[in-house]
């Protein structure tokens, strides 16, 4: 166990302690104890920056299931370190925020912090794992802990709905991803991501390469809320705001981004990957930004904005994959896309985290998040307002904040798509900058909505559940820190470029970045992306001012054809259809189940018999048929037929006895005296028992005893069963027997070895005595069963 392993394990161990702390130290908010974990971890990961900056990596392995090559190998390079820092850094801020957000008295804090620590540990595991199976394990743990966190206020119906939805969708994707991982490890014959990256060239030619990629992307897209799997994210906003800030803006939703970035070296050379990642990313970007404008809930806007920003990062990763195809070029334009993706990832975590916290503060201090009720909070909450200004302007891509820089880099990369002349990008590639620009306009609009609808205008105190006032300082610390990071990264973008962005980019594009020097310029000159930004701001402002006039376009498409509705309907349909389906065949009548069993019996056996051409008739070995046998056969057959048509049950019982006695005559005829004896007595007893049952039947009243009703299907099925068994018996008799019967051994040795002359009895008690032992056990159980059944029944009656 290395220090790295302990770092991943630390949140889990701490989660074990949290309930004790909560119960024992009630005076102090549990969050203060929890706060140490991410701070310590952040410091630890911070010291590792030096290692990755030099281009070296750390790998530590602890065997888990060595026989299956599953080892907990943790791997630190630029990319995992970036994510680890995000997770622990934002984790610390979120916990600090939650200390003031969640009340010590009203909330079940032990649950909250256990879930949160579980999530933190799982997330660290995801980004640090090198082994695919271990990664998957942690991946599912993030789904599970996020499910618990979304459903934290489990008494609310909406929380449960959101939690279920997110679990269904992310686990669906997770399972697909698991399939992809299994295929990937099958193709590459290793579970280690590093080793897979090393021989990615060979993987490319494998026929299972595309299915593998699709399955893994399905996992990444569902987790990262890409179109059309984004629908769980807005509903996950029912979680407490710290959770939304942490999981649904900074960490968990980026697990999919991480996966795409991490496996880029494996898949990126494929054109399908390039297309899928960039296309889904850009569609998500547009879709999310378009629908964010429609939302009236602050967190709803932020959720859709998160979706769209994740789409942006995803599309950048997709376009960044094009860099591999232009290795020769000195100035690799597409490498810049990857750099932009990494940079925007950091920026998004900062501004979105702060905005969620702002939304939480507004909710906490006014009692509502509905922007139709909010307004004029600027004077009441000046600090919150300042943070919101920084966050929203950064999100909208306005200078001098960091969002501006990454948005510029994004637009530049999208413009470069026009020059992409591989994998058919020349035809539809032109759409990319257009969509990117439109989506950015919408991004600008919803950013402005968040800011101005909440903080400007007139204060509608009468509509608010609480009298608004500035939040306590403790709640403001975290958003202030994040907002200042937004400004710092905006003003000094190169603060991160060598320490974080370069190693991360190198991890995503390991083959290309030998002499990578990231320099994020503040000023590009009058390039297309500059004019695009100007256009975004101008058009965005115009559209924002005229929002009321064109807002109606959202009601053009009715609510019924939304993706959410599709999800609800299909979930509903699945339930309804499966219920109907079960109702069709699970009738509750034993006669129906018998029909299924017999039909299956006939179909399976007959088809096998004829498919294998196993049916043979060979009459050579048939013994001569005697007169007595014919007579007995005629008797038994006619009696059996009469049973079918018997009117009274008494007749049936007596005829059944006749069958039994005839069988015992057959035993006599075929020289089986022991069987004949036993059969006689047993038949007598069972007929007596039948009569007993008959005697106890309920009185029929006016109804007379009726002949069994005739049903065609029953007749056909029973004839079919009879024919099947007969055919198999004939075929088994006629076919060549591969082995001689064992009976000669018994005949020879019954007296010599076992000292008995009655071979049947010798077999029963000596050669195969064990069978007899268990048969008498069966008898004993039957007797006790009857005893118990009857005695218990009378006992119940007496009560």
Location of structure tokens 């991490």:
262
User: Strand, coil or helix: what is 62?
Assistant: strand
Q: Which stretch binds another protein (CB under 8 A): 411-419, 567-575, 623-631, 754-762?
A: 754-762
Least distance (Å) between residue 651 CB and another protein: 23
In degrees, rounded to 5, the angle at the alpha carbon of residue 57 between the alpha carbons of residues 54 and 62 is: 160
Stretch that binds another protein, among 140-148, 327-335, 632-640, 776-784 (CB under 8 A): 776-784
Burial of 720 (0-12, 13-18, 19+ CB in 10 A): middle
Q: Does 67 bind another protein (CB under 8 A)?
A: no
- Sole window of 45-53, 456-464, 579-587, 761-769 interacting with another protein (rule: CB under 8 A): 761-769
Instruction: Tell me: does residue 686 bind another protein (CB under 8 A).
Output: no
* Shortest Å distance, C-beta 750 to another protein: 9
**For another protein, which residue of 678, 718, 735, 743 counts as binding (CB under 8 A)?**
678
User: Which of 496, 498, 495 shows the shortest CA–CA distance to 517?
Assistant: 498
The tokens describing 572, both together, are 């509903």
Cβ distance to another protein smaller for residue 377 or 763: 763
Q: Give yes or no for residue 419 binding another protein (CB under 8 A).
A: no
Least separation in angstroms between CB 747 and another protein: 15
Q: Is the Cβ of residue 70 or residue 764 nearer to another protein in the bound state?
A: 764
Q: Which is nearer to another protein, 426 or 678 (CB)?
A: 678
| Cβ atoms 490, 389 nearer than 8 A | no
- SS3 call for 63: strand
Task: Give first-to-last CA distance, the chain, whole Å.
Answer: 65
Are 757 and 751 contacting, i.e. CB atoms less than 8 angstroms apart? yes
Structure tokens given for 427: 């035809």
**Applying CB under 8 A, does 798 fall inside the site for another protein?**
no
**Binds another protein by CB under 8 A, chosen from 558, 738, 740, 755:** 755
The reply to whether 752 sits near another protein by the rule CB under 8 A is no
Window contacting another protein (CB under 8 A); options: 172-180, 212-220, 579-587, 672-680? 672-680
Binding of another protein at residue 792 (CB under 8 A)? no
Q: Is 179 exposed, middle or buried (0-12, 13-18, 19+ CB in 10 A)?
A: middle
Q: Pick from 794, 795, 796, 799: which binds another protein (CB under 8 A)?
A: 794
Site stretch for another protein (CB under 8 A), options 404-412, 589-597, 736-744, 780-788: 780-788
- Residue 749 near another protein by CB under 8 A: no
> Using CA atoms, how far apart are residues 122 and 136, in angstroms rounded to an integer?
10
Based on CB atoms, which residue is closest to another protein, 534 or 784?
784
DSSP assignment of 250-295, as one string? ISTHHHHHHHHHHHHHHHTTSHHHHHHHHHHHHHHHHHHHHHHTT-
- Of 258-266, 321-329, 551-559, 768-776: span binding another protein (CB under 8 A): 768-776
What b/e sequence results for 489-522 when a residue is b if at least 16 CB atoms lie within 10 Å of its CB, and e otherwise?
bbeebeebbebbbbbbbbbbbbebbeebebebee
User: Stretches 466-474, 588-596, 629-637, 676-684: which one binds another protein (CB under 8 A)?
Assistant: 676-684
Residues 6+ apart with CB under 8 A from 675: 664, 667, 760
CB contact at 8 A, 640 and 659: yes
Please, what is the minimum distance in Å from the beta carbon of residue 668 to another protein? 11
Per-position x/- string for 687-726, each x denoting binding to another protein as judged by CB under 8 A, each - no binding? --x--x----------------------------------
Residue 675 CB: number of other CB atoms within 10 A? 16
- CB of 311 closer than 8 Å to CB of 285: yes
**Does 773 help bind another protein (rule: CB under 8 A)?**
yes
Residue whose CB is less far from another protein, 27 or 696: 696
**Residue closer to another protein (CB basis): 596 or 787:** 787
- Tell me which residues touch another protein (CB under 8 A): 673-674, 677-678, 681-682, 685, 689, 692, 754-758, 760-762, 764-766, 769-770, 772-773, 776-777, 779-780, 782-784, 786-787, 790-791, 793-794
């Amino acid at each position: 166990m290395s220090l790295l392993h302990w770092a991943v394990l630390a949140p889990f161990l701490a989660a074990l302690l949290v309930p004790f702390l909560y119960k024992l130290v009630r005076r102090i908010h549990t969050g203060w104890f929890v706060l140490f974990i991410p701070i310590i971890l952040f410091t630890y990961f911070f010291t590792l920056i030096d290692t990755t900056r030099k281009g070296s990596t750390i790998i530590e392995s602890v065997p888990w299931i060595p026989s299956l090559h599953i080892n907990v190998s943790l791997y630190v390079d630029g990319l995992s370190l970036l994510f680890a820092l995000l997770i622990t850094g934002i984790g610390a801020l979120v916990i600090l925020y939650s200390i003031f957000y969640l009340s010590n008295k009203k909330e079940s804090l032990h649950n909250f912090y256990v879930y949160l620590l579980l999530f933190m540990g799982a997330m660290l595991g995801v980004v640090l794992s090198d082994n695919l199976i271990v990664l998957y394990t942690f991946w599912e743990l993030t789904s599970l802990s996020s499910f618990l966190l979304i459903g934290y206020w489990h008494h609310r119906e909406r929380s449960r709905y959101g939690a279920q939805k997110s679990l269904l969708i992310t686990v669906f994707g997770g399972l697909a991803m698991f399939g992809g991982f299994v295929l990937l490890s099958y193709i590459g014959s290793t579970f280690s991501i590093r080793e897979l990256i090393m021989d990615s060239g060979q993987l490319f030619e494998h026929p299972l390469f595309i299915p593998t990629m699709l399955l893994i992307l399905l996992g990444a897209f569902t987790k990262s809320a890409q179109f059309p799997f984004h629908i769980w994210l807005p509903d996950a906003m029912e979680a407490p705001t710290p959770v939304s800030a942490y999981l649904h803006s900074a960490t968990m939703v980026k697990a999919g981004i991480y996966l795409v970035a991490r496996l880029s070296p494996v898949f990126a050379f494929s054109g399908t990957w390039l297309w899928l990642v960039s296309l889904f990313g850009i569609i998500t970007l547009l879709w999310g930004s378009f629908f964010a404008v429609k939302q009236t809930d602050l967190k709803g806007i932020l959720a859709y904005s998160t979706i769209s920003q994740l789409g942006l990062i995803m599309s950048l990763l997709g376009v960044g994959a094009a860099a591999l195809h232009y290795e020769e070029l000195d100035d690799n334009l597409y490498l810049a896309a990857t750099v932009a993706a990494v940079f925007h990832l950091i920026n998004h975590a900062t501004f979105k985290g702060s905005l969620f916290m702002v939304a939480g503060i507004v909710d906490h201090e006014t009692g509502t998040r509905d922007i139709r009720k909010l307004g004029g909070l600027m004077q009441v909450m000046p600090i919150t307002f300042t943070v919101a200004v920084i966050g929203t302007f950064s999100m909208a891509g306005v200078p001098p904040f960091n969002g501006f820089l990454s948005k510029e880099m994004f637009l530049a990369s999208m413009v470069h798509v026009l020059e992409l002349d591989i994998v058919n990008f020349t035809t539809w590639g032109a759409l990319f900058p257009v969509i990117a620009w439109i989506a950015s306009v919408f991004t600008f609009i919803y950013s402005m909505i968040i800011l101005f609808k909440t903080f400007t205008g007139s204060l509608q105190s009468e509509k608010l559940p609480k009298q608004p006032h500035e939040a306590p300082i403790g709640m403001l610390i975290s958003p202030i820190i994040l907002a200042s990071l937004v400004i710092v990264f905006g003003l000094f973008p190169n603060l991160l470029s060598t320490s974080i962005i370069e190693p991360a980019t190198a991890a995503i594009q390991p083959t290309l970045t030998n002499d990578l020097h990231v320099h994020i310029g503040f000023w590009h000159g009058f390039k297309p992306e500059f004019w695009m930004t100007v256009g975004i701001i101008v058009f965005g402002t115009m559209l924002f001012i005229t929002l009321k006039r064109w807002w109606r376009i959202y009601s053009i498409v009715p609510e019924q054809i939304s993706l959410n509705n599709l999800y609800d309907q299909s979930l509903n349909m699945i339930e309804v259809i499966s219920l109907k389906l079960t109702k069709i065949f699970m009738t509750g009548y034993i006669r129906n189940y018998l029909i299924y069993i017999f039909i299956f019996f006939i179909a399976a056996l007959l088809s096998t018999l004829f498919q294998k051409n196993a049916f043979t008739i060979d009459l050579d070995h048939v013994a001569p048929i005697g007169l007595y046998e014919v007579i007995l056969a005629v008797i038994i057959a006619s009696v059996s037929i009469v049973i079918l048509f018997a009117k009274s049950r008494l007749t049936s019982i007596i005829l059944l006895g006749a069958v039994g006695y005839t069988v015992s005559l057959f035993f006599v005829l075929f020289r089986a005296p022991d069987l004949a004896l036993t059969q006689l007595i047993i038949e007598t007893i069972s007929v007596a028992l039948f009569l007993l049952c008959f005697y106890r039947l309920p009185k029929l009243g006016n109804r007379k005893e009726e002949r069994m009703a005739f049903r065609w299907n029953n007749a056909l099925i029973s004839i079919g069963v009879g024919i099947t068994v007969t055919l198999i018996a004939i075929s088994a008799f006629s076919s060549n027997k591969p082995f001689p019967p064992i009976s000669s051994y018994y005949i020879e040795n019954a007296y010599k070895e076992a000292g008995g002359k009655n071979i049947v009895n010798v077999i029963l008690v000596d050669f195969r005595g064990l069978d007899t032992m268990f048969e008498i056990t069966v008898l004993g159980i039957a007797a006790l069963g009857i005893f118990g059944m009857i005695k218990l029944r009378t006992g119940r009656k007496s009560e």
